[in-house]
Amino acid sequence: MKPRREQQIRLQNLELLVNEAGSAAQLARLVRTNSSYLSQVRHRMPTPSGTPRGVGDQLAEKLERGMGKPEGWMDHPHLEDNPDSTEDSTQRDEDSLVTEKRQHSNLRSLHPLISWVQASDWCTIAKGRAMPHGTALIPCPIKCSVKSFVLHTQGASMEPKFHDGDMIFVDPKVEPEHDHYVIVRSKGSAEAILRQLIVEGERRYLKALNPDWPERIIKMDAAATICGVVVFKGEAM
C-alpha cells in the first residue's frame, strides 16, 4: 500500500473520477471493476487484518485506463483543476456515512466469511459449532444480526446484479419476503445457492436473474431451506 500522503491523493482522484463518471456504479462499469469493492475502498472499510482499504496499484491502473487518463495520473493531485467535485462527492459520502452510523450502532460488527457448503448448514454452525481456525471476519457496513455471515458469490446465474466474486452479507434473522435475494439449500445438496425469491400466494419460486440461465424460475421445493437473506452488497439491499 502507498504511504499515507500518496494514498490520500489517490482517494481524492478517485472521487474526481466518480464525479466525472456520474456515479460510483457507473465508474465501476466503465473501468470494469467490482462496484462492491469500489465502495469498500471509498469508505475505507477495513481489511480482515484491520487496515483501511485503499487504492492499490492494480485498481489505479484500471481507473486510469478505463477513464482515458495518462499513466501515473492517479498519483498526482488534480484537485485544483476541479475543486468542487471531490468536495461535493466526498461530503455526500461523509454525510450518508454519518447518518448510517447514527442509525446503525453496530456498524463494525464482524461476521465470518464462509464457504457455500458451510452456508448450507449455517443454522447448525451458528448455534455453537466452532468456526475453523483462521476464518476471516468481515465488518458489516449496516446493522445486521450477530448470526450474519459473508459469502463470495459464484458463477453467472445472478448477473447482472451479482457478479462472480462479489462479497455479500447474509442475515438469517431477516424474514424472507417477495423479491428478496436469498441463500437456499435444497434437499440432498451439499451447497447452498443464491436466488431471488418470488412469492405468489402460497407458492414460492426461485429466480436466476441471468436471462440466459437455463430454468430461470423454478418452484421452491417444500423441503428446501432458506438459510438467510442478502442484506448488503456494496449497498443496502
Which of residues 137 and 98 earns the better pLDDT score? 137
Question: 31: domain range?
Answer: 4-103
For residue 129, what is the DSSP state? P
Q: Tens of pLDDT along 181-207?
A: 999 998 878 889 999 999 999 999 999
Give the Cα separation of 89 and 39 in Å (integer): 13
* The domain boundary residue, chosen from 82, 103, 124: 103
pLDDT of residue 79 exceeding 70 = no
| 8 A C-beta contact, residue 12 and residue 79 | yes
pLDDT recorded at residue 237: 65
**Do 70 and 117 lie in a common domain?**
no
Q: 200 and 141: one domain?
A: yes
- 3-state SS assignment for residue 219: strand
pLDDT, residue 127, reads: 54
Distance CA 88, CA 15 (A): 9
Q: Are 43 and 94 in contact (CB under 8 A)?
A: no
pLDDT of residue 90: 45
Say yes or no: 121 and 220 in one domain: yes
For residue 97, what pLDDT is reported?
41
Q: Which amino acid is at 4?
A: R
Q: How many domains does the chain have?
A: 2
Same-domain pairing of 97 and 160? no
CA–CA distance, 113 with 152 (Å, rounded to integer): 8
pLDDT averaged over every residue in the chain: 80
How big is the chain by its Cα radius of gyration, in Å? 20
Domain boundary among 75, 103, 131: 103
Domain finish residue from 103, 130, 149? 103
The answer on 228 and 115 residing in a single domain is yes
Give the up-direction half-sphere exposure of residue 125: CA atoms within 13 A in the CB hemisphere.
20
Asked if 125 and 169 sit in the same domain, the reply is yes
CA–CA dist 74, 228 (Å, integer) = 40
Q: Which residues have C-beta within 8 Å of that of residue 60, sequence separation ≥ 6?
A: 10, 74, 75
φ, ψ for residue 67 (rounded to 5)? -105, 10
**DSSP β-ladder status, 137-139 and 149-152:** unpaired
Instruction: Say whether both 115 and 225 belong to one domain.
Output: yes
